[in-house]
């Protein structure tokens, strides 16, 4: 073989070898460890163990129900039945661990309700999208609506007013 061809091949071979060496250093050892074909497991195996060490933040609706069954039952009968308690009350695991000392904070301004009920043309037309200037201007939503069941009203307001 001629010198040029031989040296050209040598450069390529070196390149491939350097790539393979780099690969052994860069790819984490536990990458794709949970299965043989890697399908849906395309991640570092250790990341699962690391995530398992994190403190839990959310308690789930079932946990809330153990102490507040009447609230959950009321919620389940209204339009907000599909929501989890923590959707509005925020992550509550700390409250479960220390029920007397820690209470989840809740945002009672219009901003929280806007997350779902601000007008947005991509939402279905029959979905309540009430953030026009006319509806309840200057008031917090919870001043009239009971957030656990929004069609139950406070302050003597009737449906439709």
- In whole angstroms, the minimum distance from the beta carbon of 95 to another protein comes to 31
- The residue among 25 and 51 lying less far from another protein, judged by its C-beta, is 25
- The residue among 31 and 58 lying less far from another protein, judged by its C-beta, is 31
Eight-state DSSP code of residue 128? -
- Give bridge partners of residue 153 from the DSSP assignment: 145
- In whole angstroms, the minimum distance from the beta carbon of 11 to another protein comes to 8
**Contacts to another protein by CB under 8 A:** 2-5, 7-8, 11-12, 15, 19, 22-23, 26-27, 31-32, 38-39, 42, 120-124
- In whole angstroms, the minimum distance from the beta carbon of 114 to another protein comes to 11
117 close to 128: Cβ distance less than 8 angstroms? yes
- Give bridge partners of residue 44 from the DSSP assignment: 31
Rounded CA separation 80/150 (Å): 7
Q: What are the tokens at 157?
A: 């307001």
- In whole angstroms, the minimum distance from the beta carbon of 130 to another protein comes to 18
Q: How far is CA 6 from CA 1, 10, 11, 28, 114, in A?
A: 6, 6, 9, 35, 69
- The residue among 26 and 52 lying less far from another protein, judged by its C-beta, is 26
- The residue among 12 and 151 lying less far from another protein, judged by its C-beta, is 12
């Amino acid at each position: 073989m001629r010198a040029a061809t031989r040296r050209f091949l040598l450069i390529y071979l070196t390149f491939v070898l350097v790539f393979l060496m780099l690969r052994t250093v860069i790819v984490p050892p536990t990458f794709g460890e949970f299965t043989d074909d890697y399908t849906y497991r395309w991640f570092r195996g250790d990341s699962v163990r690391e995530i398992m060490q994190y403190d839990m933040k959310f308690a789930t609706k079932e946990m809330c129900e153990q102490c507040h069954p009447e609230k959950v039952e009321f919620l389940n009968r209204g339009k907000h039945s599909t929501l989890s308690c923590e959707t509005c009350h925020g992550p509550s695991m700390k409250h479960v661990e220390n029920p007397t000392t820690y209470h989840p904070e809740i945002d009672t301004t219009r901003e929280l309700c806007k997350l779902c009920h601000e007008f947005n043309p991509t939402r279905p037309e029959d979905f309540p999208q009430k953030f026009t200037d006319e509806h309840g201007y200057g008031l917090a939503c919870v001043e009239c609506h009971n957030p656990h069941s929004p069609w139950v009203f406070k302050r003597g307001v009737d449906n439709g007013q």
